[in-house]
Amino acid sequence: MLEDRKFFHPITAEYNPYRSLRNTPYPVVGASPWQIIGPADAVTMSTSQPFVGRHTPVVGAGAGLRQYDLGVVEGRGYVGYAWLKTTGEPRARVSLTLAWGDAETACATVQLDGVGRAYARFPFAFTAGATTDKARLEIRVQEAPVAIGTLSLMPADHVEGMRADTLALLKDLAAPIYRWPGGNFVSGYDWRDGVGDRDRRPPRTNPAWTGVEHNDFGMHEFIRFCQLVGAEPWITVNTGFGDAYSAAAQLEYCNGAPETHYGTQRARNGVAQPFGVKYWGIGNEMWGAWQLGYMSLDHYVLKQNWVVDKMREVDPDIFCISSGNAGPWSTGLLQHCADHMDAIAEHFYCQERPGLLAHVRQIPDNIRSKAEFHRRARAEMPHLAGKDIRIAMTEWNYWYGPHAFGELGTRYFLKDALGIAAGVHEYARQSDLIHSAFYAQTVNVIGAIKVSRRNAAFETTGLVLKLYRHHFGELPAATQTTGLLDAQAAWSKDRKTLTLGIVNARLEPTTVPLKLSGVQLKGTGTRWQIAGADPQAYNDPDEPARVVIEEQRLDRVGETLELAPCSVTVFAFDVRGQ
């Protein structure tokens, strides 16, 4: 819950923490969010044996620190801890206060006694007395100067450091695989910063975006997260500022036996058994001039092959996904790296476009365009015959609008949900060539789930992903449509259910004929619908849901289907025989 809990930014008398997105509820911190309580010179930043990072704040007797804008809910518990030591007298006392208002009684205070000359971890707990996004945490020192190594504050129901409400939605989403750590971020990321004692992991300037990366969520946390939500882990290695030896070391840390050099380190950090990570991304968007470590295609071909060679020396069974971009870059990789990849990544994002249908069609049109490029490329490269190098669409989404949820925290609307559903249909049509597709991204940013300080909710696009994950079939079936609808059928894995997804990108209801060939229905089924009269309808975690999934049991399936305006509908038909 705390910004800059490891004190990356020096605490100064000038309290001015925000550097961008100042006029939103989630501004970007660019200086210390900790305000000094007491005289300006009561806090110094000590560089002598800092607890973590470059320096540690030392707070004088009678002074303290506070942080504002914390979200709390009345009656809920909050837990935390502080690493503390004195720098003067043998013993000191520290008080911590969680305040949810300005009245003297609108707070709870705990005393931490026995702070000595060696760092010790002091736990604390509070129960909030009101609901607010303007709570504050204060830490005050009595008797002697105290060094504050690091602080933590979390909801009491957190799951191994992760928010329980967000984790519950991610379990409900049931995504089969997650990619980490990104994204442009990975080209400046050192995986070693994300292992070991979380409180001692160094905070770093975010290499790709703004803010600070405190490395609290690293390799072990990612693997554990995947275990908790039932997903497969996919790790991307740094081919920007990183090299083949770092990538091979990272792989050995994950998959090496306990007696290997890096496997021993993993065991020392609490996990003796190898993680067994199969999927590995080889860099991210190395074709882009914005990318850290960007290089020409000729140079990157050498690096890509070098990295994969070194990684396969560690584990020859990994599945390598190279970083492509339809055009000369992907053509070059397919030409020169075919023996060093199992799939090739593609990315695309769409902006807002006038007209509902035109806005929706952007997503499937981009998917089809990527597939058509690769079909042509493969036809022109005889050496690819017999090689099953398919596309991994590792980033795809809409990306436009104001940042309502912090940096890149764009909001999604019902019209975007229609586009994502049409995209799922197109992936089914192109599934002979497209190996996998990774909606980017997960939480906040351009994510399928949005969280505020106190609540979490599915975006409209997240509802579509959840709907299709749970109820759309796995085996695409030939589908023909006419008019302005986008439809695709798919069988369940056991072929006992035929599913049909339909996107109606019009503002009027419609009735469509249903004609089936080679299958007999029982006449019963289920319908799930995401619909609304307003294409601009959206969900907000702090407000009642405007866009939902509606479920209806069908006792009679006839020769026509009724579709709501501006809707995504999935039908599951019970099958009598084929």
Domain with residue 439: its CATH number is: 3.20.20.80
- Judge whether 439 lies within some domain: yes
| pTM score, whole prediction | 0.96
541 and 572 part of one domain: yes
Phi/psi zone of residue 327: left (φ > 0), alpha (ψ -120 to 50 degrees), beta? left
Q: Which domain holds residue 545?
A: 486-577
Element (H, E) at 369: helix 356-379
What secondary structure letter does DSSP report for 40? G
296 and 360 part of one domain: yes
Q: What is the mean pLDDT of residues 335-343?
A: 98
- Judge whether 10 lies within some domain: no
Beta-carbon neighbour count of residue 240 at 10 Å? Answer: 24
| Residue with tokens 């999934």, as numbered in its chain | 549
223 and 343 part of one domain: yes
Contact residues for 186 (Cβ-Cβ < 8 A; gap 6+): 236, 237, 238, 240, 283, 284
86 and 199 part of one domain: no
- Judge whether 1 lies within some domain: no
Give all strands of the β-sheet with 77-86 in edge-to-edge order: 43-46, 56-59, 146-155, 77-86, 120-127
103 and 181 part of one domain: no
Amino acid 24: pLDDT: 82
- pLDDT-derived band at 305 (thresholds 50, 70, 90) equals very high
Percentage with pLDDT > 90 across the chain: 93
Amino acid 76: pLDDT: 98
Amino acid 208: pLDDT: 87
Phi/psi zone of residue 134: left (φ > 0), alpha (ψ -120 to 50 degrees), beta? alpha
Amino acid 207: pLDDT: 84
Amino acid 578: pLDDT: 65
- Judge whether 498 lies within some domain: yes
**Do the beta carbons of residue 488 and residue 479 sit within 8 Å?**
yes
| Residue with tokens 């908790």, as numbered in its chain | 228
3-state helix, strand, coil in the chain (%, to 5): 25, 35, 40
- Judge whether 446 lies within some domain: yes
**Do the beta carbons of residue 1 and residue 71 sit within 8 Å?**
yes
Amino acid 271: pLDDT: 97
Amino acid 376: pLDDT: 95
Does residue 577 surpass a pLDDT of 80? no
Q: What three-state secondary structure class fits 442?
A: coil
Tokens of 244: 């083949």
Find residue 574's DSSP bridge partners. 497
**Do the beta carbons of residue 491 and residue 543 sit within 8 Å?**
no
321 and 351 part of one domain: yes
Q: The dihedral of CA 193, 199, 202, 203: what is its sign?
A: positive
Phi, psi dihedrals of residue 289, rounded to the nearest 5°: -65, -20
Amino acid 19: pLDDT: 83
**Do the beta carbons of residue 87 and residue 58 sit within 8 Å?**
yes
- For 229-239, the pLDDT digits (tens) are 999 999 999 99
Amino acid 209: pLDDT: 87
- Judge whether 8 lies within some domain: no
131 and 205 part of one domain: no
The overall average pLDDT reported for the chain is 96
- Give me the count of residues in the chain: 578
Alpha-carbon Rg for the chain in angstroms = 27
Please give the Cα distance from 313 to 427 (Å, whole number): 34
Does residue 356 surpass a pLDDT of 90? yes
440 and 518 part of one domain: no
- For 195-249, the pLDDT digits (tens) are 999 999 999 998 888 889 999 999 999 999 999 999 999 999 999 999 999 999 9
376 and 352 part of one domain: yes
CA 12, distance to chain mean position in Å, is: 33
Contact residues for 154 (Cβ-Cβ < 8 A; gap 6+): 1, 78, 79, 80, 161
Q: What is the mean pLDDT of residues 487-492?
A: 98
- For 165-183, the pLDDT digits (tens) are 999 999 999 999 999 998 9
Q: What is the mean pLDDT of residues 104-116?
A: 96
**Using H for helix, E for strand and C for coil, what is the string for 29-91?**
ECCCCCEEECCHHHEEEECCCCCCCCCEEEECCCCEEEEEEEEECCCCEEEEEEEEEECCCCC
Q: What is the mean pLDDT of residues 325-333?
A: 98
Contact residues for 263 (Cβ-Cβ < 8 A; gap 6+): 252, 253, 256, 257, 274
Please give the Cα distance from 198 to 189 (Å, whole number): 16
Contact residues for 316 (Cβ-Cβ < 8 A; gap 6+): none
98 and 129 part of one domain: yes
- For 367-425, the pLDDT digits (tens) are 999 999 999 999 999 999 989 999 999 999 999 998 999 889 999 999 999 999 999 99
Tell the burial category of 110 from Cβ atoms under 10 Å away from its Cβ (0-12, 13-18, 19+): middle
Contact residues for 153 (Cβ-Cβ < 8 A; gap 6+): 1, 2, 5, 70, 78, 79, 80, 137
Tokens of 429: 């049509």
Which of 421, 443, 477 corresponds to the end of one domain? Answer: 477
Picking from 443, 440, 413, the residue whose alpha carbon sits closest to that of residue 568 is 413
The identity of residue 268, as a single letter, is R
Does residue 298 surpass a pLDDT of 70? yes
- pLDDT-derived band at 20 (thresholds 50, 70, 90) equals confident
462 and 511 part of one domain: no
Task: Provide the number of structural domains found in the chain.
Answer: 3
Please give the Cα distance from 51 to 33 (Å, whole number): 19
- For 127-162, the pLDDT digits (tens) are 999 999 999 999 999 989 999 999 999 999 999 999
Which of 93, 126, 155 corresponds to the end of one domain? Answer: 155
**Do the beta carbons of residue 472 and residue 499 sit within 8 Å?**
yes
- Judge whether 7 lies within some domain: no
**Do the beta carbons of residue 32 and residue 17 sit within 8 Å?**
yes
Please give the Cα distance from 33 to 169 (Å, whole number): 30
Picking from 266, 120, 296, the residue whose alpha carbon sits closest to that of residue 196 is 266
Amino acid 465: pLDDT: 98
464 and 407 part of one domain: yes
Please give the Cα distance from 412 to 376 (Å, whole number): 34
- pLDDT-derived band at 88 (thresholds 50, 70, 90) equals confident
- Judge whether 67 lies within some domain: yes
CA distances from 292 to 95, 183, 225, 237, 548 (A): 44, 11, 27, 13, 40
**Do the beta carbons of residue 490 and residue 513 sit within 8 Å?**
no
Which of 477, 501, 520 corresponds to the end of one domain? Answer: 477
Please give the Cα distance from 317 to 203 (Å, whole number): 34
CATH number of the domain where residue 47 is located: 2.60.120.260
